[in-house]
Amino acid sequence: MAKERLDKILASTGKWSRREAKELARRGLVSVDGAAIRSVEEKFDPETAEISVNGQALCYRRYTWIMLNKPAGYLSATEDGRGATVLDLLPRELQRQALFPVGRLDKDTEGLLLLTNEGGLAHALLSPKRHVDKVYYVRTAGRLTEEDCRAFAAGMSLEDGLQCLPARLEILTAEEVSEAHVTLREGKFHQVKRMLAAREKPVLYLERIRMGGLPLDPELSRGAFRFLTEEEIEELRALV
Ligand code: URA
């Protein structure tokens, strides 16, 4: 891989800003291949250089994968003149990494959103051919019924022409406001809302809680993010 400035390499981990990286190096806390490096302008190949900060080996990754617990009010876009995007929830150093959301959640939908700069894997995960399960927690106006479950399982044909793949509706509570889990194997525009509107049970609240084998981390508060672990990224690779 091409050589990069030391501050850029450190900042790409999201742990430090470039300014902080410079300060760490100035204090002699950054070493490369065993030697302290005090100038962050020096360039190294991040894939082969053994970089450590304060005695801890740096785990460099070519691509960044982030799990965000999306709050309502943010657009799943990289930039949008009309309002805040999910990238606004990340620190500046990460905003510089050309990250983009893996698929879209509506502005008012909350929960699990992945962001990455690894285009190949992201697009493979989104490909309609892959059928990666997405699970949503939903609250609807109106009492959900077994008939609704059967309609989801049969593959709904919506009035607007959308032919849906068979999906799973698992009722958690069936009251005037009902709760359920919905599992889709595709991700068409407003799909959960459109399917439930067709059953005359409009969505009041929607949250994505799982993508493939990856659940929304319960430790992540709304608006918070974390890096995916190596194992989680491998699991995503295994899906495609
Ligand atoms: N289905 C929807 O209707 N909206 C979302 O944000 C995701 C799935």
Which is catalytic among the residues 80, 106, 133, 217? Answer: 106
Query: How many whole angstroms from 98 Cα to the centroid of ligand 1?
Result: 24
The verdict on whether 106 is a catalytic residue reads yes
* Three-state secondary structure string covering the chain: CCCEEHHHHHHCCCCCCHHHHHHHHHCCCEEECCEECCCCCCEECCCCCCEEECCEECCCCCCCEEEEEECCCCECCCCCCCCCEHHHHCCHHHHCCCCEECCCCCCCCEEEEEEECCHHHHHHHHCCCCCCCEEEEEEEEECCCHHHHHHHHHCCECCCCCECCCCEEEEEECCCEEEEEEEECCCCCCHHHHHHHHCCCCEEEEEEEEECCEECCCCCCCCCEEECCHHHHHHHHHHC
For a pocket test of ligand 1, which of 102, 135, 193 has the largest count of ligand atoms closer than 8 A to its C-beta? 193
What is the average pLDDT value for the chain, to the nearest integer? 94
pLDDT tens readout for residues 6-15: 998 998 887 8
pLDDT at 1 over 80: no
Asked whether the whole model's pTM tops 0.75, one would answer yes
Query: What residues does ligand 1 touch, defined as CB less than 6 Å away?
Result: 105-106, 109, 190-193, 206
pLDDT at 95: 87
Q: Kindly report, residue by residue over 131-155, the tens digit of the pLDDT.
A: 899 999 999 999 999 999 999 999 9
